[in-house]
Amino acid sequence: MAKIKFGSVEETVVTRDEYPLEKAREILKDEVVAVLGYGVQGPAQSLNMRDNGINVIVGQRKGSPNWDKALADGWVEGETLFTLEEAAERGTVVQYLLSDAGQKAAWSTLSEFLDEGDMLYFSHGFGITYKDQTGILPPPHADVALVAPKGSGTSVRRNFLDGSGINASYAIHQDFTGKAEERTIALGIAIGAGYLFPTTFENEVYSDLTGERGILIGALSGVMEAQYNVLRKNGHSPSEAFNETVEELTQSLIRLVAENGMDWMYANCSTTAQRGALDWHPKFRDAVAPVFEDLYESVKNGEECRVTLEKNGDPNYRVNLDAELKEMHDSEMWQAGIAVRSLRPENWKES
């Protein structure tokens, strides 16, 4: 494992150089990796492992849209595609990649298939950390670990295909075999992680839920909407408001941040932009800090878990979700986005 300086803090990480795919294959050569759930992370992780030569099978509810998606992706019923129960029974590594609400609902059934020495694998610390609410209590005769890619399943697959990979955290909750860590790291390499860094189940879920509700999705969409609305209220056109709020960020500035950091992005903007951003940066930071404090406490005390299980466990969850997403899709801001994206040069058509 490599020691890397992150600012003034030194951390231990696992890279592909020290843990090549050949080593991962050797460790996993006798494993049957059963990926349960073919929704968000399931397709990416299973396809990446399949492409990397790992013995993978998929478990999904038969007749569901995701069953059909698995068939379309080349999984073969009765050979590499099974019901959840059949896959769990066949697997020596059971990747529990159902939704958090789905994991709670299926646990009493699927937990019966964990044999001595099997590994129960998560990509989220939710089920274990909030065990009082989920009821997920693994048997003592199994390894329990997680590998959590720091990105959506779509990005996990895209980055794998372009060779870049996506960073992931890993954690060991229970080491029955004495080999839980090497199995876990091998699985992280097999799904295409760029590098792996250690965490705990608690830290993973606390940071993940805060990040998703905060800057990664909730805060980002919220501040975009706030700025767009102010610009529109002051007479700016939808095109101008959207370009200044979203398009310039996603198509230019965030790419500079990704390349070399926020300071480098600042350095490559106009002096007027630099000065204004430097002056307003602390005002935005201080304004939202109390919101992040409230958010973290809500995650830590289990309130976000309660709301998630209640809402996502509702039989009408999908219908309600579609309605909420449609409202966002139909808003002027994101309709403007459709128009702006259609005018990107790569979408131009010769007349």
- Express each pLDDT in 257-307 by its tens digit: 999 999 999 999 999 999 999 999 999 999 999 999 999 999 999 999 999
Q: What is the CATH number of the domain that holds 307?
A: 1.10.1040.10
Rounded Cα gap, residues 231 and 339, in angstroms: 18
pLDDT at 351: 43
Domain coverage including residue 231: 211-347
Would you state the pLDDT for residue 349?
63
Residue 9 located in a structural domain: yes
**251 and 189 in one domain?**
no
Give the pLDDT band (50/70/90) at residue 119. Answer: very high
Q: Tell me: do 183 and 300 sit in the same domain.
A: no
**Are both 192 and 220 inside the same structural domain?**
no
For position 3, what pLDDT does the model report?
81
- Average pLDDT value for residue range 19-32: 96
Q: Give residue-wise pLDDT tens across range 316-350.
A: 998 999 999 999 999 999 999 999 999 988 776 65
- Domain match, 12 and 104 both: yes
Residue 288 burial by Cβ neighbours in a 10 Å radius (0-12, 13-18, 19+): middle
Share of the chain above pLDDT 70, in %: 99
Q: For the residues 198-224, what does the mean pLDDT come to?
A: 96
Q: According to the model, what pLDDT value does residue 130 have?
A: 96
Q: Which of 124, 141, 173, 281 is catalytic?
A: 124
Q: In the chain, how many domains are there?
A: 2
Provide the token pair at 37: 């759930």
**What confidence score (pLDDT) does residue 181 get?**
96
Number of separate helices (H) and strands (E) present in the chain:
19, 10
Q: Give the whole-angstrom CA distance, residue 256 versus residue 259.
A: 5
Q: From 148, 181, 200, give the residue that closes a domain.
A: 200
Angle of helix 218-233 relative to helix 332-342, nearest 10 degrees?
90
Q: Is the pLDDT reported for residue 37 higher than 90? A: yes
Q: Give the tens place of pLDDT for each residue, 61-94.
A: 999 999 999 999 999 999 999 999 999 999 999 9
Q: Residue 350's pLDDT is what? A: 54
184 and 285: one domain? no
Give me the mean pLDDT over the 220-243 stretch.
97
| pLDDT of res. 8 | 85
Query: Is residue 16 located within the same domain as residue 125?
Result: yes
Across the chain, mean pLDDT equals 94
SS3 4: strand
One domain for residues 324 and 225: yes
- 2 - beta bridge partners? 13
Backbone torsion region of residue 165, taken as left when φ is above 0, otherwise alpha when ψ lies between -120 and 50, otherwise beta:
left
Mean pLDDT throughout 143-156?
94
Q: How confident is the model at residue 23 (pLDDT cuts 50, 70, 90)?
A: very high
Q: Considering the domain boundaries, does residue 205 fall inside one?
A: no
Look-up: residue for tokens 């919220």? 222
Residue with tokens 């600042």: 266
Query: Where would I find the H helices in 234-270?
Result: 238-242, 248, 254-260, 262-267
What CATH number is associated with residue 52? Answer: 3.40.50.720
**57 and 8 co-located in one domain:** yes
User: How far apart are alpha carbons 81 and 58 in whole angstroms?
Assistant: 5
User: Could you tell me if 55 and 171 lie in one domain?
Assistant: yes
| Mean pLDDT of all residues in 100-121 | 95
Q: Is residue 104 part of a domain?
A: yes
> Based on the domain organization, do 63 and 109 belong to the same domain?
yes
pLDDT above 90: percentage of residues in the chain: 88
Q: Which of 162, 178, 200 is the last residue of a domain?
A: 200
- The model's pTM is 0.90
Side chain identity at 300, as an amino acid letter?
K
User: Is residue 105 one of the residues assigned to a domain?
Assistant: yes
Are residue 60 and residue 172 in the same domain, yes or no? yes
Active site (annotated) includes residue 124? yes
Q: Looking at the structure, do residues 218 and 194 belong to the same domain, yes or no?
A: no
